[in-house]
Amino acid sequence: MPRQTDADFVTQRRRFNRSWPLVAVGLLLLIGGMGIGIALVYPVMANPFYVIAQLQGGQLETETLEAAAMLLPVLFWMLVISLLLFVLLAWQMMKNEKRLLALLDSNI
């Protein structure tokens, strides 16, 4: 695949930069809504104080505890994978920014 021309690269970066605030607000609203929705519908999954109260009151079912014990390793590895992907994304972003800075420096 041929490499983008420098002018195309700068144009693309400007377009991404202009659209980022709208995308960021949408993502923040989506994540916040998802968190609130899960906390309201499934308090066992999102509210540790609710879980502690249920455990102390002996009201938490054995099946719920078994399901939580099965899902905890999956949740842990998904978190690790998400963090790795975040770092890889940041690495690629810095690579692109380094290219843009080199391009801008060459034009000064």
Tell me the per-residue pLDDT of 51-107, one tens digit each, with 9 for 90 and over. 889 989 989 888 888 888 889 889 999 999 999 999 999 999 888 888 888 888 887
| Residue 1 sits in the same domain as residue 51 | yes
Q: Quick one: 71 and 100 in the same domain?
A: yes
Structure-derived torsion over alpha carbons of residues 88, 91, 93, 95, reported in degrees to the nearest 10: -140
State pTM to two decimals.
Answer: 0.65
Q: Which two tokens stand for residue 98?
A: 């380094």
Number of domains in the chain: 2
51 shares a domain with 16: yes
65 and 50 in one domain? Answer: no
Domain identity same for 55 and 68 = no
Show the domain range for 66.
61-108
Is 90 found in the same domain as 69?
A: yes
